[in-house]
């Protein structure tokens, strides 16, 4: 059965009411971004959300492998999991706005893969060798420099051992990260659009990677970050989805090259999107990058229209074997009356129809 998740804001106070409303509206879970220059701390927000909810899942959508050491990330999400009695999920990617606002591009692949291994090791209550942590000597010397009588021989989070292991989800768009996630993650959350052909490509690639590593191809879950806005007027829905769509679509061309099944016209649109992207207008519908998206691209890459248009397209995605669909960048909808109406329509008509 497919779960349907949505965004909330990482505001320690506002999320208390937001989370309760999201649960009441029938969503299966909420995620908050980890972007320290743009929002509050995600783990504080998730902890507060846990106090006002009883059922829904709580996760990061997403954190990254650069701004926090792996042990701190594991301890933070495990703390949320304890507080929420087993409802936490750790979503992670290579980084976007969190890194851009400290002058950095997404994490390098080798660092990201090592981080995934370390986080999974910590979450399982096991030890990571000091030698793998890679802290430069000019930042902090080895503990041996203190000449202690005794000291830890490896890095472990003892209080996590014996508890529930928090699931790790990797947001993935390119083939290298998809293959990496297939080996190290509990679930791959594709960020390659709402197109069946592209998602089928991603699933097949992940299963092939698992076979190549000697792993069960069916031993991992699949989900997707999608942009979905429901409005009785299709043109209004398409306008409302633009800001969020630029954010997710850009991941598929962030480094200048598109991947997966893509027409020439779609590839050209993605490249233009990358070249005109203004991080200062990140997620905003009125941005240059958002207004530059052709309607044809929106029709293929997003799901935007009346309920009778959105519902079958969402059902097609579930039929692929995706057990989690995350409606990304929905927090912007609350800024306008039309956006609020669109969100209410999803909750009133779309979610109930998908449960049948």
| pLDDT digits 0-9 by tens, 264-322 | 998 888 888 888 888 787 777 778 877 789 999 999 999 999 999 999 999 999 999 99
Where b means 16+ CB within 10 Å and e means fewer, 36-73 reads: beebbebbbbbbbbbeebeebbbbbbbbbbbbbbbbeb
Q: Are 121 and 198 in contact (CB under 8 A)?
A: no
Is 296 inside any structural domain?
no
- Domain-embedded: residue 147: yes
Tell me if 107 is assigned to some domain. Answer: yes
Cβ burial of 137 (10 Å; 0-12, 13-18, 19+) is exposed
Q: Is position 22 within any domain? A: yes
In a domain, 61, yes or no: yes
In contact, 27 and 5? CB cutoff 8 Å = yes
- Dist. CA 77–CA 44, nearest whole Å: 10
Query: Could you tell me if residue 302 is inside a domain?
Result: no
Q: Is residue 344 part of a domain?
A: no
Give the pLDDT confidence of 219-263 residue by residue, as tens digits: 999 999 999 999 999 999 999 999 889 888 888 888 888 888 999
Q: Is residue 274 part of a domain?
A: no
Lowest mean pLDDT among 10-19, 63-72, 148-157, 271-280: 271-280
- The pLDDT value recorded for residue 291 is 78
Which of these ranges, 285-289, 324-328, 333-337, has the smallest mean pLDDT? Answer: 285-289
Reported as a single tens digit per residue, the pLDDT across 101-113 is 999 999 999 999 9
CATH number of the domain enclosing 137: 3.20.20.30
- Claim: this prediction has a pTM higher than 0.85: yes
As for how many domains the chain has, the answer is 1
Buried b (16+ CB within 10 A) or exposed e, 255-266: eeebbbebeeeb
Mean pLDDT of 60-73: 97
Host domain of residue 210: 3-228+309-331
pLDDT at 35 over 90: yes
| Angstrom distance (rounded) from CA 171 to CA 162 | 27
CB atoms within 10 A of CB 190: 31
């Amino acid at each position: 059965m497919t779960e349907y998740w949505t965004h909330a804001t990482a505001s320690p106070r506002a999320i208390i009411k937001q989370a309760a409303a999201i649960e009441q509206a029938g969503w299966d879970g909420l995620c908050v971004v980890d972007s320290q220059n743009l929002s509050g701390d995600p783990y504080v927000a998730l902890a507060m959300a846990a106090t006002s909810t009883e059922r829904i899942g709580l996760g990061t959508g997403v954190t990254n492998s650069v701004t926090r050491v792996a042990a701190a990330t594991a301890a933070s999400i495990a703390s949320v999991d304890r507080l929420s009695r087993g409802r936490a999920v750790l979503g992670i990617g290579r980084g976007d706005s969190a890194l851009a606002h400290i002058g950095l591009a997404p994490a390098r692949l080798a660092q990201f893969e090592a981080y995934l291994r370390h986080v999974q090791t910590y979450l399982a209550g096991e030890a990571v060798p000091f030698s793998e942590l890679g802290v430069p000597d000019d930042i902090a010397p080895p503990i041996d420099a203190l000449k202690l009588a005794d000291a830890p021989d490896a890095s472990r989070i003892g209080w996590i051992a014996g508890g529930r292991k928090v699931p790790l989800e990797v947001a993935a768009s390119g083939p290298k990260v998809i293959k990496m996630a297939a080996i190290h993650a509990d679930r791959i959350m594709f960020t390659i659009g709402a197109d069946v052909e592209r998602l089928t490509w991603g699933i097949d690639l992940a299963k092939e990677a698992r076979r190549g590593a000697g792993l069960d191809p069916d031993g991992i879950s699949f989900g997707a970050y999608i942009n979905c806005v429901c409005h009785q007027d299709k043109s209004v829905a398409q306008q409302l989805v633009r800001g969020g769509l630029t954010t997710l679509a850009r991941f598929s061309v962030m480094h200048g090259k598109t991947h997966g099944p893509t027409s020439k016209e779609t590839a050209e649109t993605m490249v233009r999107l990358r070249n005109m992207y203004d991080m200062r207008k990140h997620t905003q519908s009125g941005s240059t990058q958002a207004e530059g998206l052709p309607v044809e691209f929106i029709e293929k890459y997003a799901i935007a229209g009346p309920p009778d248009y959105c519902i079958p397209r969402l059902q097609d995605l579930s039929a692929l074997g995706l057990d989690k669909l995350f409606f990304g960048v929905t927090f912007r909808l609350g800024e306008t009356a039309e956006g609020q109406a669109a969100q209410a329509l999803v909750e009133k008509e779309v979610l109930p129809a998908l449960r049948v």
